[in-house]
Amino acid sequence: MTQTLTLIGFGEAGSTFARAAGWEDDARAFDIRPVDFDAAAVRGCASLADALAGTPSVISVVTADNALSVAQDAAALIAPGTFFFDMNSVAPGTKRAAAAAIGAAGAVYIDVAVMAPVNPSRLATPLLLSGPDAETGGAVLAALGFTNLRIVGDDVGRASTIKMLRSVMVKGVEALTAECLIACECAGVTDEVLGSFEGDWATGADYRIDRMLVHGGRRAAEMAEVVKTLAALGIEPLMTRGTVARQAQLGGLGIAAPPAGLEAKLAKVRNAGQ
């Protein structure tokens, strides 16, 4: 990798990509939170302006509720011709608004949807790309080390639409799992209910609740964007509004390092549904 890259946001996705790719001094990073950039051997920047100065490629991986403002702030600083890869989980309308800001600055906007957790796949995480410059953008991402890229259309918003509608199911099942098992714990019937399902529901439930506890706040912000997506399609987001609330509830418990095992996790969250 011979070109400079800027990462805006250095949470799970940004730091995972940086460590896997070995970008080191070829990459700069900026985050509004205190971050140990040295652990990933990238150059941390004190400001967004410093991070964007002279870079040919930008990857934005921030929380959904900050995605548009970050794009707008970047548009005031970014050089013409810079590739801006918006990997945030937001509604297609939000992506189009971000694209308008980046495009007005003369930069190149690519709608990118991250279709699976970045761990353990890292640079092989499936990415969907859309927009008029998606093919060229895909070549840039491939040069940066990403290996699982698929172009899904010429329109900004198509990749994000696929991601948003998939999240109705994925994050909705997480929320339903938590609601069911919190109630089971309160009633003292967890083993009986889990045993009534076919397959190993306990293992899947353990994983889903773990993800909600660690990332529920970020997931709630994403699902708020899903609500916008459904509403724009004329679909009343009855279930998804509940998903927003349940994800926010578990994420708000402040359990950043959940204990191992479903039983221990449920003991931590037992009162969350009351």
Q: Which residues of the chain have pLDDT under 70?
A: 1-3, 272-274
Pairwise CA distance, residues 194 & 181, whole Å: 9
> pLDDT for 120-170, tens place per residue?
999 999 999 999 999 999 999 999 999 999 999 999 999 999 999 999 999
Residues 20 and 150 in one domain: yes
pLDDT given for residue 274 in this prediction? 57
First to last CA, the chain: 52
Residues 191 and 259 in one domain: yes
End-of-domain residue from the set 122, 155, 188: 155
pLDDT given for residue 34 in this prediction? 85
Pairwise CA distance, residues 103 & 226, whole Å: 24
Residues 150 and 174 in one domain: no
Residues 91 and 127 in one domain: yes
End-of-domain residue from the set 155, 173, 191: 155
Counting the structural domains of the chain, the total is: 2
| Residue 147, amino acid | T
pLDDT given for residue 1 in this prediction? 47
- Beta-bridge mates of residue 43: 28
pTM, full prediction: 0.93
251 to 34, 146, 206, 242: CA distances (angstroms): 20, 30, 15, 14
Pairwise CA distance, residues 7 & 59, whole Å: 5
Residues 133 and 190 in one domain: no
Residues 61 and 185 in one domain: no
Residues 111 and 135 in one domain: yes
pLDDT given for residue 271 in this prediction? 74
Residues 25 and 137 in one domain: yes
Give 100's Cβ-side CA count (13 Å radius): 8
> pLDDT for 242-269, tens place per residue?
999 999 999 999 998 999 999 999 998 8
Residues 239 and 218 in one domain: yes
Residue tagged 């990798």 (tokens): 1
DSSP H or E run through 149: strand 149-153
Residues 32 and 121 in one domain: yes
Residues 25 and 150 in one domain: yes
What CATH number has the domain bearing residue 38?
3.40.50.720
What CATH number has the domain bearing residue 164?
1.10.1040.10
End-of-domain residue from the set 105, 132, 155: 155
Residues 198 and 240 in one domain: yes
Tell me the residue range of the domain where 36 lies: 5-155
